[in-house]
Structure 1
Amino acid sequence: MIEDANHIPAGSLLKADVCIVGAGAAGITLALALRDSGLDIVLLESGGDSDDAATQQLYAGSVADARLHPPADHYRVRRFGGSTTLWGGRCMPLDAIDFEARDYIAHSGWPIALSDLLPYYPRANQLCEAGDFAYSAAAVPGMRPMIEGFDSGLFSTDALERFSCPTDFGQRYRHRLATAALRVIQHANLRALPLDGSGQRVGPAQVRTLAGNHFTVDARAFVLATGGLEVPRLLLANPGRSGRGLGNAHDVVGRYYMSHLAGTIGTVDLSAARSVWHGYEVSDEGIYCRRRLALLPQAQRALHAGNFIARLHHPRIPDPGHGNGALSLLYLARPFIPREYAKRLDADEPMSAGAALGHLRNVIVGAPATARFLAHWIRRRNLAARKFPSIIIRPDNLRFSLDFHAEQEPNPDSRVRLGTDTDALGMPRLHIDWRYSQQDTDTVSRSLAALARELRASGAGTFDYDPQQVEAEMTRYGAYGGHHIGTARMGVDARTSVVDPDCRVHEAGNLYIAGAAVFPTSGQANPTLTIVALALRLADHLRKTYARTPEAASGITTRRAQEEDVA
C-alpha cells in the first residue's frame, strides 16, 4: 500500500516491526526483501513519485570548497526511487582487497570480507537488472580483446563492468510495493529520532510533512536508508546519549567522507596494437558489458596504491584537433547540457573563436558520420528501455585519452557536519568539507606511471601524459558524482566506527543504517551494486532478529516472490 503522509490523521501513532526511512536503492531493496517476512513494515519517503522543488530544497546546504564539491542538493534526489532516478547504471562488485586492512591505506579494513557479501551479489545484480553475476570477460562468450598483444603482470583487461537499464527502483518496483502487505508513506520527513526511556533504543520517530501534518512511528527497529550525506545529518541532528548526535559519542559520525578519484588524462596511442576494442559488448541476456584496465591486487600492494581502474576514452573534446564531428557537436551544445554533465566537457573553460570555428568545421565536414552517430544515440539511448551506456567514439588514428576511476583513502578530516542554517522543517542543514590526501594523489600517479611502463614494454602501445598534471586532473571534477561514502562507517570498535558488522549503530540497540555511509573504504567500484547487496544482507539479519515465527526467521521466501524479483 502506498499512501500520502498528508492524509494520515494528525497526531497519529503508527506501529511497526521495522520502519525504513528512505526509498532509494537501499530502502526499496530492504522493503522488497522483507515483504514476505511476516513483519509489519513501514517505509517512509520524503518525496513523491515525481520531482518537487520544495522537497528537493530540503537537501540544500553549504560546501567548504565549491571547486572540490558540487552543491549539497546535486547528484541526489529526494523522491520515490531516490538517486536511482538519475544514476548511470554502472554495476560492479567490490574486490577482495577492498575489505583488507592495508598498511599503506590509512583507516582501511572492513569487519566483514567479500565472502560475506558474495551470497547476496547475484540477487543484487538481478534487482539492479544487470544480468548474471559474471564480472570476468571469460564468463561472457564473444568478448573481444581490449588491446590485443597487451600482456601485463600489473594490469588485467579481463575485468568487466555491467550496466543496468539504468533501473529507476521507484518506477520499477512501485507496483510490487503497492500490492505488498506493507505501508509506503510518501511526503513523510523524519524530523526527530529520540532515545526512549531506557537510553538504549530509539523511537518513536517524529514525522512531519511540508504541508504541516505530523505523526509518530513506533517500531521495534529503525533503518536509515537516506544516503551517505543525509544519514549523518539525521544522526547529528538528534542528540543521542552523548548530546553530540546519535552514534557520535566518539565524534566519528560524518567523518571519513569519501567519493572516488576520477579524471581523464593523456594520450594512449594504440596504433601498433594488433586490434583494439574499447566499446560495449552485449551479453547473451542482453546486458551491455565493457572491459576495463584493472590494477591487480599484487600490483596495488607493490606500488602502495589504492584500487584503480581505467578505460579507453575518446580524445579530449575541447580540442577541435580530434576532427570528429560528433564530439564537436557535443561540445558546441554544452550550454544546453545539465551542469553535472557539462562539467565533464570542461564547460567552465572559455572557447576561443578559433576553437569554435574548428568545431563547426568538424561538424560540417563530418556531417554524414555525425548524422549516423545521432541516429544511433536517439535509437539506442533516448528511445530504448535499456539504454546505451555512454558515448563511444573510435578515433581513426587509435589515439585515445585515458579515463580513470580510483579508490579514495578514508580521511577523518574529510567530513560533513551540521551548518548554522535550517530548512523548512527546522532541521539544520549540512556543511560539506570533502578533502583528499597525498595517498590519493599517489594512488593515481603510481598507477598511471605503471600503466605507461606496461604498455610500452608490451609493444602494444604508448601512454603519454604530464605527471605534473595528475593532481589537477584528479580534482577537476572534485568529489565524483553521487558517490557519498563512509560517513557512518562499519567496524567492531565504537571509538572508530558508527555501526557494527550487522549495520547496527553501536549506541542504539534498534537503529540500523543501510547504504554507502557504512562502507569503511570506497574501493574502485561504483557503490550501487554493493549498497543493494548489503541491504539484502541486512534484511536477512532483521528477519532473523525480529521474526515472529520460526519460518519467517529461516528466510524462506515463496517461489512467487523469488520469481517476481527477477521478472
Structure 2
Amino acid sequence: MDGDAIPVGFRAGEMSARVLIAGAGPAGCAIAHRLARRVDVTHIDAGTRVDLACDGTLPAICDEPYRAAGAGGGLALWGGYCADPGDDLDRPEWLGLGPELRPCLTDALRWLGCKRHLAAPAVAQARGLAQPLALSGLEPRLWQFSPVGEIGDLPSVQDGTRVLKDTRLVSVELSADGRRITHAVIEGKDGTHRIETDAVFLATGAIENVRILLGPIRAAGARIPEATGRGLVEHGAFQVTGLRVPQGSWIERLHRRANDFGTGENALAMALAKSERERLGLMHDVLHPYRGPDGTMRLGVMSEQARNPANRVYLSGAQGDDGVHRARVDWGLSAEDRERMRRSAREMAMRVVSSGSGALESEGEVDVAPHPGAPVWCGHPTSTTPMGHDARSSVVDRDGRLHGLSNLHLAGSGTFPSAGWANPTLLIVALAFRQADRFLEDQAAPTGSSSASSIRSLNSLT
C-alpha cells in the first residue's frame, strides 16, 4: 500500500475510521498490529518533521537526527535494548498491572524479533557468572537485543490498516457533553481531511503527546488534567571513576554480547536486590561494563530518577512556519538525584571490590562523573502523562484512557508512573498490546457497560 496517498474508498476531504492511531513508533505500531483485521484502523505519522521539534534542556529527544537514527516514530520500529522491568511492576503506582503485563511482555519480545523471553539468572548461570555475582551481593539484569525493522516489514500491521505517512493530527471535535471525540482533522501532503472516529490513540511519544493534549485537544474544549506534562523522568547516565577493571576478570564476561540460547544477542548488567534498595533508600539503578574509547573496560551506571514536578513539558510561545506550537522541556537532575545516584553506584561498585573476586581494583575514591562529551540522560523520556486513579495527580487510567475523555487513549512511556531500571521500549510495546486488548474487550461488552476505572476517571473531573 502506498502510505503517501489517501487509500481507495476515501472521499477527498472527509473519511471515516473506527480507530485513529497517531504515531508510528513502537507504541503506535504495536496497537495497529493488535487491532489489525479486528477493527477499521487509520494509522498516521508525522515523520521527522523539524517544525514539531521541542525547545529546552532536552532538545535532542525531539530533533530530526535523533528520530532519523531509529529512536522511534517516522514508521521506525526498533526494540534496541529490550529489558524486562521485573519487580518494578510490583510497585503500588503500577496499579496492580504486573500480572496482566507478564504475557504481554513475552508477546512483545517475540514481536520485536527476540525468539524467546530469557531470564537473567539463567543467562548468568550459563556464562559462569552466578557465583561471582552472588559473592558481590548483586543480581543480574539482562538486555535482549532486537533487530532493526520498519512497519513495512510487518504485513500483519498493514493488513486492514490504512497507513498515511507525513500526516499529523491538527484538531479534534467533541461531543455535546465534551466527554468524547467525534471527529479528528488530519493534515498531510495531499491536504486536510476530517475523520469521523470512535476512538483515538495518541502514540506520538512522551513529549509530543503532551504538546497535542495542551494544543489541539485543549483548544477543542476538553478539560486536560493538571498533571499533564509535569514530572518528566529520564535515566541518568554516568561513568564510575576511581576503579579499574583488571584484564581477564569476570566483568569482561558480563560485558560480552552473546547468543547463549540461540535466541539472539544479549548482555548482562548488575543491580542491588529490591530488599537492599529499600533498606538503603536507593532506586533501581544498574551497574554495567563498557569498553571506553581507549579500549579499556570501564563501569557505567544507568540510574532511575524520581518524579519531580519541576521537570516538565509545556507549550512554548514559539510556533513553526505552519503555526504549530512547539513543546518546551525543562529537565535536570536535582542535587538529591545526583547524590542518590552517586551512593548507588558506590554501593554496587564497592560490593564487587570487597567480594574478593578480583573483578575490580580501587584506584582512589569511587565516584560518578558524566561520560566525556556525552549527555547525562539516556533518551528515555517517561512519566509525562502518568497513569493513576486520581485525575488530580495523574493523566490516564490504568487502561490508558485520558481522565475525562472516554475514547482518547494515550500510549507510550509517558503513561509510566515510574521509570524503573529498564530501557522503555519493551514495556511500551507490552502496555500497548494490553491497551489494544482492553479496547477490543470493551467493544465486545454489552452496550452501556464500562469499566470501574473509566467511571472513576469521569467522576473525578465532575
Q: TM-score range by the shorter chain?
A: 0.7 to 0.9
**Cα 1:299/1:308, change in 2 over 3 Å:** same
Q: 445, 460, 480: which one pairs with 2:378?
A: 480
**Cα 1:12/1:88, change in 2 over 3 Å:** closer
**Cα 1:442/1:59, change in 2 over 3 Å:** same
* Counterpart AA for 1:269: V
**Cα 1:467/1:419, change in 2 over 3 Å:** farther
Residue pairs, 1:98-137, within 5 angstroms: 98-101=89-92, 109-137=93-121
- 1:421 to 2:397 alignment: no
Larger Rg: 1
* Secondary structure, aligned partner of 1:411: coil
Q: 39, 57, 60: which one pairs with 2:53?
A: 60
Residue pairs, 1:33-52, within 5 angstroms: 33-37=34-38, 39-47=39-47
Q: What is aligned with 2:264?
A: 287
**Cα 1:305/1:61, change in 2 over 3 Å:** same
**Cα distance in 1, alignment partners of residues 284 and 373 from structure 2:** 17
**Cα distance in 1, alignment partners of residues 144 and 106 from structure 2:** 13
Q: What is aligned with 1:262?
A: 237
TM-score, length-scaled by structure 1: 0.71
* Counterpart AA for 1:524: W
Contact 2:245–2:251 under 8 Å retained in 1: no
Query: Percent same amino acid among aligned pairs?
Result: 27
Q: What is aligned with 2:83?
A: 92
Mean CA deviation greater in 294-303 or 457-466 = 457-466
* Secondary structure, aligned partner of 1:512: strand
Q: What is aligned with 1:201?
A: 180
The Cα shift of 1:233 comes to 0.6
* Counterpart AA for 2:376: G
* Counterpart AA for 1:220: D
Larger relative contact order (CA 8 Å, sep ≥ 6): 1
**Cα distance in 1, alignment partners of residues 336 and 118 from structure 2:** 31
Mean CA deviation greater in 144-153 or 451-460 = 144-153
Gaps of 5+ in 2: 448-462
Contact 1:117–1:534 under 8 Å retained in 2: yes
Map Cα deviations across residues 37-56 of structure 1 (whole Å, 9 max, x no partner). 2x211111223xxxxxxx52
**Cα 1:81/1:301, change in 2 over 3 Å:** closer
* Secondary structure, aligned partner of 2:60: coil
Mean CA deviation greater in 84-93 or 289-298 = 84-93
Q: What is aligned with 1:348?
A: none
* Counterpart AA for 1:293: M
Map Cα deviations across residues 306-342 of structure 1 (whole Å, 9 max, x no partner). 101121222x42xxxx5xxxx5xxxxxxxxxxxxxxx
Residue pairs, 1:107-506, within 5 angstroms: 109-138=93-122, 140=123, 143-146=126-129, 149-152=132-135, 154-157=137-140, 159-165=141-147, 167-173=148-154, 175-178=155-158, 180-209=159-188, 211=189, 213-238=191-216, 240=218, 246=222, 248-250=224-226, 252-266=227-241, 267-270=243-246, 276-277=252-253, 278-314=255-291, 316-317=292-293, 322=294, 327=295, 395=296, 400-461=297-358, 462=360, 464=362, 470=368, 472=370, 477-481=375-379, 483-506=380-403
Q: What is aligned with 1:391?
A: none
* Secondary structure, aligned partner of 2:396: coil
**Cα 1:220/1:80, change in 2 over 3 Å:** farther
TM-score, length-scaled by structure 2: 0.86
**Cα 1:466/1:221, change in 2 over 3 Å:** farther
The Cα shift of 1:217 comes to 1.3
The Cα shift of 1:301 comes to 0.5
**Cα 1:11/1:228, change in 2 over 3 Å:** same
**Cα 1:465/1:18, change in 2 over 3 Å:** farther
* Counterpart AA for 1:512: H
**Cα distance in 1, alignment partners of residues 246 and 126 from structure 2:** 19
The Cα shift of 1:235 comes to 0.3
Map Cα deviations across residues 470-512 of structure 1 (whole Å, 9 max, x no partner). 365599513322x121111110000001100010001101100
* Secondary structure, aligned partner of 2:387: coil
**Cα 1:489/1:36, change in 2 over 3 Å:** same
Contact 1:84–1:168 under 8 Å retained in 2: no
* Secondary structure, aligned partner of 2:368: helix
The Cα shift of 1:466 comes to 6.8
Q: 443, 455, 460: which one pairs with 1:546?
A: 443
The Cα shift of 1:187 comes to 2.3
Q: What is aligned with 1:27?
A: 28
**Cα distance in 2, alignment partners of residues 274 and 126 from structure 1:** 30
Contact 2:19–2:41 under 8 Å retained in 1: yes
* Secondary structure, aligned partner of 2:283: coil
**Cα distance in 2, alignment partners of residues 80 and 437 from structure 1:** 26
The Cα shift of 1:150 comes to 4.6
Contact 2:231–2:308 under 8 Å retained in 1: yes
**Cα distance in 1, alignment partners of residues 151 and 196 from structure 2:** 25
Q: 39, 62, 71: which one pairs with 1:72?
A: 62
The Cα shift of 1:423 comes to 2.2
Contact 2:139–2:273 under 8 Å retained in 1: yes
| Number of residue-to-residue matches in the alignment | 442
**Cα 1:454/1:508, change in 2 over 3 Å:** same
* Secondary structure, aligned partner of 1:203: strand
* Secondary structure, aligned partner of 2:378: coil
* Counterpart AA for 2:228: V
The Cα shift of 1:172 comes to 2.3
Q: What is aligned with 1:364?
A: none
* Secondary structure, aligned partner of 2:200: strand
Contact 2:258–2:266 under 8 Å retained in 1: yes
Contact 1:12–1:215 under 8 Å retained in 2: yes
**Cα distance in 1, alignment partners of residues 282 and 2 from structure 2:** 47
Q: What is aligned with 1:368?
A: none
* Secondary structure, aligned partner of 2:66: coil
**Cα distance in 1, alignment partners of residues 71 and 192 from structure 2:** 20
**Cα 1:163/1:521, change in 2 over 3 Å:** same
**Cα distance in 1, alignment partners of residues 215 and 191 from structure 2:** 20
* Secondary structure, aligned partner of 2:126: coil
Contact 1:24–1:169 under 8 Å retained in 2: no
Contact 2:71–2:78 under 8 Å retained in 1: no
The Cα shift of 1:96 comes to 1.6
The Cα shift of 1:142 comes to 7.5
* Counterpart AA for 1:172: D
The Cα shift of 1:78 comes to 11
Contact 1:155–1:296 under 8 Å retained in 2: yes
* Secondary structure, aligned partner of 1:220: strand
